[in-house]
Chain A
Amino acid sequence: MTTRAATTSTLFSWKRLLPPLLVSAVVVGVIVVVIVAGHHDIIESFSAFGRGSFGSAYAFWSATLVRATPLTLLGLAVALAFRSGVMNIGAEGQFLAGASAATAVVLTGVGGGMVLVIALPAAVLAGALWAAIAGWLKREFGVLEVISSLMLNFVAQYLVSYLVRGPLQEPTHVYPQTETFGPAAQLPLLISGQRLHLGYAIAVLLALILWWMFRATAVGFRLRAVGAGAAAAASAGQVMVPRVLFTAFLLSGAIAGLAGGVEVTGVTYALYEGISPGFGYTAIAVALLARLNPLAIIGTGIFFGALEAGAAAMQRDAGVPFQFVAVVEALVVLGVIALDWTRERGATRR
């Protein structure tokens, strides 16, 4: 994984154009295979895909970008961790922790009309705390964060399951979910008549902030240094590596938690078990395709948002199974790895 700073090379060159071209080829290729194998109408399928993703203002503002919101935020969480050398694959769990905390705050009814001002920070805090468990285990006991953050995903899943069947269940106790949030606990919509909510603006703003942080601030430089060479950072820069790693955990978890808070207050208006269809894992693809560059994550977030929105429409209108999206996501990640490999092999020296 190259965690190199975005340097100012020419904007348009074949090398830069190659990855997006390959990715597009993969997407089209997989869709064609699935369509042909399933004997679906190819024109109808593709037009459904287009209608669902970019084909109309509604598709773009209300499907693609709404889907892109959690993916962008979680992609940023993953990128921040990976660039700092923290293999946090617990974004899923931190997302659920954030969603649970925001829901709990909303349902207690504190804050009245200003409930969001409390609920979203609560989500941030909960995500950070959930990540802090893995961070603390690493700092104190040297536990591999890959395993601990993965375990915590499952614990978070059962926690949500318990909450929506226990203390936070809707009043009739029939459905495993909370009651629907009132208008005060719903994020404002950005465009009237569209489902796009304030959360997406927050995501884009955060991407800009993180890009600036890595590029221009001392904190970002420290995080990068630890990610690129922890021993050199400790020795040459006298960086307190364990502390910086812990900070990276906290920041990454905080962003993932925010994503959870934004999802319940911006899209679902309720908490239920399947609230994340694996957003935290898709986010790894989002971050990698962007090469961990926060600005590029805005683009890859839209790309994956459109892919999922388009695929949903394709299933609805043309009967093409939605599951192929996961295949595309996997192939994108594998493609990035293979591209990295060819690049590294080209630059091998000894």
Chain B
Amino acid sequence: MVSARADVSTALSLCDMSKRFGTTQALDGASLDVRRGTLHALLGENGAGKTTLMRLAFGMDTPDTGTILVNGKTCAWRTSADALRAGIGMVHQHFLLVPAMSVAENIGLGRGGVFSGFDPTCTAAVVRDLVAATGLAIDPEARVGDLPVGAQQRLEILKALSHDAQVLILDEPTAVLSPQETQDLYAWLRRFVDSGRTVVLITHKVREALQIADDVTVLRRGRTVMQVAAHATGEAEVLTALLGETTTHGAPHARAPRRTTGKTVLAVNGVTVRDDRGTERLKCVTTHVCGGEILGVAGVEGAGQLELLRVMAGRRIPDTGSATRPARVGFVPEDRHRDAVIGEWTLIENFALKDAGRATGTMVWDDYRVRAELGVRAQDVRATSAHDRMDALSGGNQQKFVLARELEGAPEAFVVENPTRGLDVRATEQVLDALRAARDAGVAVVIYSSDLDELFSVSDRIVVCYDGTVHEVPFDRQAVGRAMVGLS
């Protein structure tokens, strides 16, 4: 995959890029060639190095080895400012905006020399011009923290375009968008490349990528394993490249006949939840889960699904309404590092963490050691001993440890949020199998996943959260997709 050719039709070319973070080789000689005027999809599993590669291209990190060519010329970035000047813009998955500042101030940030002035009126006018030219509507005087996510993303794109970006890199831009917003964004990107500019789209959604991209590059374990025109390949081929083996991932699992216990284990009745600002995140929601079934919860970000799961898990007290919960509920939160484990603690201490709130008297550490060891064995956690520090484990093993801890003691209900985020394929399968095993043992399982494929592959029944309300929908992709944007 060597490409040192100084082809002027190549807008951005990355050759033989390597980058190591501590003990992790994030990139191992990856390459990417993006033709001018095309929409290029960069595919890969979580941890394949997509984001790292693009951070190098955008000057946010410096490569250990490798060369960056823009329009055939070799470039070396010291900071993102250099990349911006060379016409490269990036829209990050987690928006890099300053919530306390206005739209105009966010656009003005980092522009001009060190001692140059900043004129809010003038910048606002520039923003209005950009809005008119691009059709991406936004109010230049608005405070960014008050804007909805869709508008914040438009601002991120405008920010890049305000530097006259010729190559626009977008990192998982649709993760936070509703299907309608996603369609709008794709249509806009298409017009953008048709005007002669270039887009690199980082994504892990194979089907979408093949539909909208001109070219596709697939990364696996820090290496480029496929670089091809989108029309010249198919979903199966890309998946094989992505996963490195033929798997059934994405294909619907043969769904076992429903054998719920028929007994409602977990129920919420007329539950309303307000956030810090008093906005209702859940509006008088009623739903239930039976033993022996997996309830899948779908919804675009901020539709109320996280609040619903937290109420179900007893992690959040509803403002009105009631929740009927069994005594033992296991809970796997979305942000593992923040909400589930303490990195500098041992596995034993992390196991004891589940009792931290209700323990009294003295801690019987020997007990916790035995329980942690049992859990480690039950979920096949790869650790040398229960005395290991949590942060010595890989992400997948940490997640399996959390599952083991939360499934210990036979909970009657099990609530999980995005349980496979950041995991590789094998760990993902192990986690989903653990959920199925729990279901088969009669546990009432609730799962929220931002990945619809995953939701369909594991759930028995699906409800959709939309704008704080919950809707029962048929087990059907189209129906779920429509419900996620409020069409019933």
Q: Which residue of B314, B346, B359 contacts A218 across the interface (Cβ within 8 Å)? A: B359
Contact A232 B339 (CB under 8 A): yes
B296 at the interface (CB under 8 A from A): no
- With A216-B363, A348-B22, A350-B24 in contact, is A232–B357 under 8 Å at CB? no
Contact A233 B23 (CB under 8 A): no
B149 at the interface (CB under 8 A from A): no
- With A2-B344, A349-B24, A350-B22 in contact, is A238–B357 under 8 Å at CB? yes
User: How distant is the Cα of A336 from the Cα of B356 in the complex, in angstroms?
Assistant: 30
Interface centre among A4, A235, A239 (most CB of B within 10 A): A235
Interface SS, B side: loop
B340 at the interface (CB under 8 A from A): yes
**A246 → chain B closest CB, angstroms:** 15
Interface segment out of the listed B69-77, B165-173, B347-355: B347-355
**A181 → chain B closest CB, angstroms:** 39
Number of interface residues of B (CB under 8 A): 37
* Nearest chain B residue, comparing its CB with the CB of A223: B356
Contact A225 B353 (CB under 8 A): yes
Q: What are the residues of chain B within 8 A of A222 when measuring CB–CB?
A: 356-357, 359
User: How distant is the Cα of A221 from the Cα of B360 in the complex, in angstroms?
Assistant: 10
* Nearest chain A residue, comparing its CB with the CB of B389: A4
Contact B338 A238 (CB under 8 A): no
Contact A237 B339 (CB under 8 A): no
* Nearest chain B residue, comparing its CB with the CB of A229: B342
Q: How large is the interface on A (under 10, 10 to 19, 20 to 34, 35 or more residues)?
A: 20 to 34
A236 at the interface (CB under 8 A from B): yes
A228 at the interface (CB under 8 A from B): yes
- With A236-B353, A348-B22, A349-B21 in contact, is A217–B339 under 8 Å at CB? no
Q: What are the residues of chain A within 8 A of B362 when measuring CB–CB?
A: 216-218
Interface centre among A218, A221, A222, A236 (most CB of B within 10 A): A236
A36 at the interface (CB under 8 A from B): no
Contact B340 A235 (CB under 8 A): yes
B5 at the interface (CB under 8 A from A): no
Contact A225 B356 (CB under 8 A): yes
**B35 → chain A closest CB, angstroms:** 32
A146 at the interface (CB under 8 A from B): no
A114 at the interface (CB under 8 A from B): no
B333 at the interface (CB under 8 A from A): yes
User: How distant is the Cα of A233 from the Cα of B339 in the complex, in angstroms?
Assistant: 7
Q: What are the residues of chain A within 8 A of B352 when measuring CB–CB?
A: 221
Contact A217 B357 (CB under 8 A): no
User: How distant is the Cα of A233 from the Cα of B365 in the complex, in angstroms?
Assistant: 18
Q: What are the residues of chain B within 8 A of A3 when measuring CB–CB?
A: 344
- With A218-B361, A228-B345 in contact, is A237–B24 under 8 Å at CB? no
A 144-158 contacts with B by CB, 8 A: none
**B234 → chain A closest CB, angstroms:** 35
Contact B315 A4 (CB under 8 A): no
A110 at the interface (CB under 8 A from B): no
**A174 → chain B closest CB, angstroms:** 55
User: How distant is the Cα of A5 from the Cα of B331 in the complex, in angstroms?
Assistant: 26
User: How distant is the Cα of A134 from the Cα of B148 in the complex, in angstroms?
Assistant: 35
B124 at the interface (CB under 8 A from A): no
A 235-268 contacts with B by CB, 8 A: 235-240
B358 at the interface (CB under 8 A from A): yes
Q: What are the residues of chain B within 8 A of A33 when measuring CB–CB?
A: none
Contact A232 B24 (CB under 8 A): no
* Nearest chain B residue, comparing its CB with the CB of A212: B362
Q: What are the residues of chain B within 8 A of A337 when measuring CB–CB?
A: none
* Nearest chain A residue, comparing its CB with the CB of B361: A218
Contact A231 B339 (CB under 8 A): yes
Task: Mark each residue of chain A from 316 to 350: 1 if its CB lies under 8 Å from any CB of chain B, else 0.
Answer: 00000000000000000000000000000000111
User: How distant is the Cα of A222 from the Cα of B358 in the complex, in angstroms?
Assistant: 9
User: How distant is the Cα of A277 from the Cα of B21 in the complex, in angstroms?
Assistant: 47
Task: Mark each residue of chain B from 352 to 388: 1 if its CB lies under 8 Å from any CB of chain A, else 0.
Answer: 1111111111110100000000000000000000010
Kindly list 9 other residue pairs between chains A and B, CB separation below 8 angstroms, not including A231-B339, A234-B339, A238-B358: A228-B345, A231-B335, A231-B338, A232-B339, A235-B331, A236-B331, A237-B353, A238-B314, A239-B356
Enumerate chain B interface residues (CB-CB to A < 8 A): 21-24, 26, 314-315, 331, 333, 335, 338-346, 349, 352-363, 365, 387, 391, 402, 405
* 25 A-B pairs whose Cβ atoms sit less than 8 Å apart in the complex: A5-B345, A7-B387, A216-B363, A217-B362, A218-B356, A221-B363, A222-B359, A228-B342, A229-B341, A231-B338, A232-B339, A232-B342, A233-B353, A233-B356, A234-B339, A235-B331, A236-B339, A236-B341, A236-B405, A237-B357, A238-B315, A238-B356, A239-B356, A349-B23, A349-B391
